[in-house]
Structure 1
């Protein structure tokens, strides 16, 4: 993904609604003005990390509009994935002062996570033990919703590893979110392999509960 125009074009293939399409197009226009460039094709990798700050500067007197633009930018990155330089821009968004934007930026990775969990697991591991309960909850929510039989072995390996690391607060939140998926009758929860995976998680938590009660 060699420039912002290509990211925008890819985002359009995900069929966002009319309002988001307009917001994304307006964002490109504003960024070209800010960087004094003729085309978003000229907004190349060395500028990616500067985009969130550019949005803040453009809307220096309107915090809410800045958040709106950064949110659509986060959604564009989430659609493609945090790769090819976009991970640096995403990192800035994940550390934004606004907690709602941080959550939204993280949540935007959910769809790509279903296709490529190995790409997103590092972000889940980054936030599984954070003091930021909201980000920890988003990490658990994403983890609970991206299961597939192909990822069964990976997910079982991860929950075992995380239990060994003492990440039980996170695993409890993960358990709560999986229960919600089951209650909603999410199709993946009816897979035999998911039942086995969830049983292993509950066994880990039950063992921990027994250890704490002794």
Structure 2
């Protein structure tokens, strides 16, 4: 028998040998708890050897169960012991704590600045200007769609409503979104699906989305 095989079954073998060897001496009260534990572990190891769905437990009887135990509590270990306040998706612990504090009407301010590295790559911030700058005209935040050969160019706003289909929202939601597009003078993407009567109710500009065409489109 190879050394690798011996190491895999060593703990199981020790439990079985100790259980069988201690049976004649059970008149000693102190031996009962130990024998009971090794007996239960021996039964677990025997079951691990006989089962087939889990190769780890079959190759490492008794000890293989530790892997599934640790795997089961892995999310809790990461959340409470290893994870930093800025890790995790979709929301970090710092973001969740802010929501919890505001829901309880508690102060969520952190004194003495921020705990976030504001100089790390990807962190964006706006620096104050040393002198007043002229206000920008919102009407200039637009891009012309269509070149010289286009017969109907469109002046598109840089602020638009992204694709959300009618099937995943509701009539009132579509009405509200399109009315907002009308008031803000920007476009409302229909998302996959149809252009319903609710899209047309307030007259906001529409971007009719055809792809992926899963539900088809016509007329």
| TM-score of the aligned structures, taking structure 1 as reference length | 0.30
Q: Which has the higher strand share?
A: 2
More helix by share: 1
Higher relative contact order (CA 8 A, sep 6+): 1
